[in-house]
Amino acid sequence: MRRSFGWPVAAALLVLGASACGGTSAEGQRGTDEETPTSDADAWVSAEDYHPDRFAESAQVDHRWYPLEPGTRADYRGSSIEEGERLHHGVTIIVTDLVKVIDGVPNVVVWERDYTDGELVETELALFAQDEDGNIWHMGEYPEEWEDGEFDKAPAWVHGIAGATAGITIPADPRTGTPDYAQGFAPKPINWVDRGRVYKTGERTCVPEACYSDVVVVEEFERTIPDAFQDKYYAPGVGVVRVGWRGENDESKEVLELVDFRRLSPEELAEVREDARALEDRAYRISADVFGQTPRSEVASP
């Protein structure tokens, strides 16, 4: 399964100015991930720490490195390799003002569209929630995959349904030298087994949108595929600004950079809401056994 992007930016950008600060090499040396775990590693959050009572009644997500502000649109551009050919790749992500309750936990609904050479290849609803300690949880997703303009499949998974469980997208206090963690789990045939680990902190990087400091890099991987990592660069007050890769066994070699973001107008947000609800309607029909078992999304309270 394609590793979901689904990491939007929030409204406030921390711009350091136009001074050059190069991005970290996609094939840089492994570093902090091989350090000896810190003394308090045993207290590190893991997916096993999930409990619905540890979440507030609000769906607000204000994580320092991963804020999800409704009405934010982020556009990314880059490339990836498919069938031996490097193709243009674009991702557009919008944080909707919809809330979906899963296992009693209110989730922000994020709408993602993924393009290859200008053609839509995936559209997705992704669900994220922040617990009372500030950890961000990925609670499920409905991805529609398209090929040559035709619907192909929708490998949806949702916490608590068909053996799937929530996982952590980014911990509240990202620190190097801490153990890796599950980013969610769904058994076969979905086979969602992504894991994350804090790879670097305190980084600086520049992308077309701006330059950023105090960046946290989270590496994502599957244990069954050694030496293949996707790196996501999280900027404070922003979210993901860059995606890179490392390792001989990384097949897609995907690179993405934030090229533009803006806050939607109320009218634009209303249109997005209807589009996201239309996708949800399809999810109830196409994924009746998974997404169809969840309650309908509601507009977030002001």
Is 160 inside any structural domain?
Answer: yes
Q: Does residue 9 fall inside a structural domain?
A: no
> Would you say residue 7 lies in a domain?
no
223 domain residue, yes or no: no
Identify which of 203, 220, 109 has the alpha carbon closest to the alpha carbon of residue 167. 220
Tokens encoding 192: 């969602």
Cβ neighbourhood burial of 29 (10 Å; 0-12, 13-18, 19+) = exposed
Strands 255-263 and 298-299: unpaired
Q: Range of 142's domain? A: 34-197+258-299
Tally of residues, the chain: 302
Task: Tell me the pLDDT of the chain (302 aa) as tens digits.
Answer: 344 554 433 333 333 333 334 444 333 333 333 343 444 545 688 999 999 999 999 999 999 999 999 999 999 999 999 989 999 999 999 999 999 999 999 999 999 999 999 999 999 999 999 999 999 999 999 999 999 999 999 999 999 999 999 999 999 999 999 999 999 999 999 999 999 999 999 999 999 999 999 999 999 999 999 999 999 999 998 899 999 999 999 999 999 999 998 999 999 999 999 999 999 999 999 999 999 999 999 999 87
User: What is the number of structural domains in the chain?
Assistant: 1
Give the pair of three-digit tokens for residue 125: 């609803």
Q: Is residue 78 part of a domain?
A: yes
Give dist(CA 166, CA 183) in Å, integer.
7
Task: Tell me if 106 is assigned to some domain.
Answer: yes
- DSSP reduced 3-state for 278: helix
Q: Could you give the C-alpha distances from 117 to 80, 81, 120, 124, 148, in angstroms and in order?
A: 10, 12, 9, 18, 12
Tell me the three-class secondary structure of 205-270, residue by residue: EECCCCEEEEEEEEEEECCCCCCCEEEEEEECCCEEEEEEEECCCCCCCCEEEEEEEEECCHHHHH
The answer to whether position 214 is within a domain reads no
Containing 273, the helix (H) or strand (E) segment is helix 266-286
